[in-house]
Amino acid sequence: MQLENYILGNWIKGDGDGQTLYHAVTSESIATASTKGLDFSTVLHYARQKGNPALRKMTFQERGLMLRALALHLREHLPKFYQISYQTGATKADSWVDIEGGIGNLFAYASLRRKFSDQPYCIDGEYHSLGKSNTFIGQHLLIPKEGVAIHINAYNFPVWGMLEKIAVNLLAGMPAVVKPATVTSYLTEAVVREIIRSQILPEGALQLICGSASGLLDHVDAQDVITFTGSASTGQKLRSHPKVLSENVPFTMEADSLNAIVLGEDVEPGMPEWDLFLREVKKEMISKCGQKCTAIRRIFVPENKIEDLQIAIGKTLQDVVIGNPLNETVRMGSLAGLEQRKEVKEQLQKLLASSQIIYGSLDIISVLDADGNKGAFMSPILLLNQQPMSSTAVHEVEAFGPVSTLMPYSSLQEAIALVKLGKGSLVSTIVTNNTSTATDYTLGAGPYHGRILVLNRTCGRENTGHGSPLPVLVHGGPGRAGGGEEMGGIRGVKHYMQRVAIQGSPDMITAISKVYQPGATGITDGIHPFKKYFEELEIGDQIITAKRTITKDDIDAFADLSGDHFYAHLSETDFQGTMFDNQVAHGYFIMSVAAGLFVDSYEKNPVLLNYGIDELRFTKPVYAGTDIHVRFSCKEKIPQVKKEDADIDKGIVKWLVEILDNENEIVGIATILTMVAKLNQA
């Protein structure tokens, strides 16, 4: 069987036989892959001209719902994906992380749409007044780039590697060309076939290349974005491509790194942290047969516990059943192929020049329900290096398999120094129940890491683990780890958008951004905004309320009602040496009065409920005798999707609340959120 490439809206085979792909467990030939004859210039042009405009026209809400629909569709085909995944040597647990973890990223970024506007672009941060009269302001916009996201992925996660990246660029409004590592590309191809079959994505939003991508980067331009996951050496070669440099193409690299786990000096045998440490080391050594960019490669423990931990880790590894991942009793499958096993053993030889094997064997392995000679099986290998400060290989050489090195340290500061010798890692774990140890380690090792897990008894049950990148958190790291970052919630979306600073009048910036800016001209049509349904509201709909005088009795009554008897709110206080002239009104009382002024409560209206308050600030004291009023403006509208047919169809409306005093100066400002019914809703 020859894998096909999905390009230009069609499934196309490359010329010739191409590269042969093998079953990781049996070493039988299962497919070939070729890109020979493909015109990569045309592939990228198609994405820019077909997929990009289609995605750019969609709003964040539409793109998010598209991701959700795609995730639901892929979930219907899990059995098929799992069966193919076994051919990569992955166990059921390994496949779950790859397949369902990848689909989980789609769900996560689908939900993230709620953080964005109902427009194809969005504002980034707060506005800036650039003049005394606020007639000239500045704002930042994030606009989808007009290029294509090129994803060059590693072989260890053929599904997650693709889905975690495209979830982000699709939400941002950019198409993708995915180039999976050829050795496991047959699983990626199976998932892409279902994506294309679903017809959920607009044409041109996703293309797939199975095989060599030589020459692809010759055709990139400044509007494109490149992401790479794999070895640091390959990443550096791609990042220094002449076209990438000349066009200043953004290049995000996530490289394999020598991630470390550190056992705190406070942890003793019998403590929950001791068991958590052992569990994490074992899991990271055998998960995906050690083929994880986040796997633990270096294990640092207090020197007085080195012997105890050598024995303890060995015992935890003894019950690991290695073999055919289709057998439910197997806990560790094989490497992705014989070539990968060969590479791991070559790297191991370099490590053995300064370390010794204390668990496992390079040659002897017991395999269940499979042929250990034909499959790419390998024993977990635990090494011991007694002189980590003077050794270099252990901090520079990575055996990308079930291989870790145990090393002693004499103090926390030495542990931090040892971790830094890795020259930048994706993740590190500190296992401790001591807050000072956790703080010192985080601050000391933090500049060299993209993520740090602080593991103790409190989070032991819920923690997602050392090796689990999460959609809402940054995945990446400095130095050897590549210097880039992926995912990270909103942070990741911004990588695929151009940040543009715009300057102009509040009216002009409001019109462009579709978000009401302070100082813009309001729309006053005589109809209270609370009487309008979601679709009827316009950005800038505004009322200027009547005034209300704040009295001493009001302030005293609110103090008694709320129980807030802070000295500034009491008339008998001696105000000499304070920030106030005399008794000042509670900020929350002023906000409550503001609500009384702008809320139209005399009859039933489309506003269903108050959803919350954001960015509330009290900017000037309000004393008894002050008249206040409110400028109340429709700031932004975000539709919601009904979870059930019986739900009321509604959306979230953000309102800018500006509370002004006798001198027309702002004394309080906030954004309130309401749920507003759509038309034809009771």
**According to the 3-state scheme, what is the secondary structure of 122-150?**
EECCCCEECCCCCCCEEEEEEEECCCCEE
Burial class (CB in 10 A: 0-12, 13-18, 19+), 544: middle
CA atoms of 376 and 340, how far apart (whole Å): 8
Could you tell me how many residues make up the chain? 682
- What number of other Cβ atoms are within 10 A of residue 346's Cβ? 11
Residue 645 burial class via C-beta count within 10 angstroms: exposed 0-12, middle 13-18, buried 19 and up: exposed
H/E stretch holding 253 reads strand 251-255
Compute the chain's Rg from CA coordinates. Answer: 30
Q: Which residues pair with 474 in a beta bridge?
A: 487
Q: What does the alpha-carbon distance between residue 628 and residue 653 come to, in Å, rounded to a whole number?
A: 24
Spatial neighbors of 589 by CB under 8 A, at least 6 apart, are 554, 555, 558, 562
How far does Cα 262 stand from its chain's mean position?
25
Annotated active-site residue in 4, 164, 254, 273:
254
Is 210 among the catalytic positions? no
Q: Is 293 a catalytic residue?
A: yes
Other CB atoms within a 10 A radius of the CB of residue 382 amount to: 23
Burial bucket for residue 603 (CB in 10 Å: 0-12, 13-18, 19+): exposed
H/E element, 192? helix 185-198
Q: Which residues contact 548 (CB under 8 A, 6 or more apart)?
A: 593, 596, 597, 627, 628, 629
CB 605 within 8 A of CB 485: no
Active-site pick, 289, 293, 486, 658:
293
Q: How many CB atoms lie within 10 A of CB 413?
A: 12
Contact 530, 605 (CB under 8 A): yes
Residue whose C-alpha is closest to residue 408's, from 377, 386, 389: 386
Task: Determine the Cα–Cα distance for residues 90 and 79; give it in Å rounded to an integer.
Answer: 14
In whole angstroms, give the CA distance from residue 308 to residue 61. 55
CA dihedral 486, 491, 497, 499 (to 10 degrees): -140
The CB density around residue 197, as the number of other CB atoms within 10 Å, is: 10
The single-letter DSSP state of residue 628 is E
Cite the active site residues: 254, 293
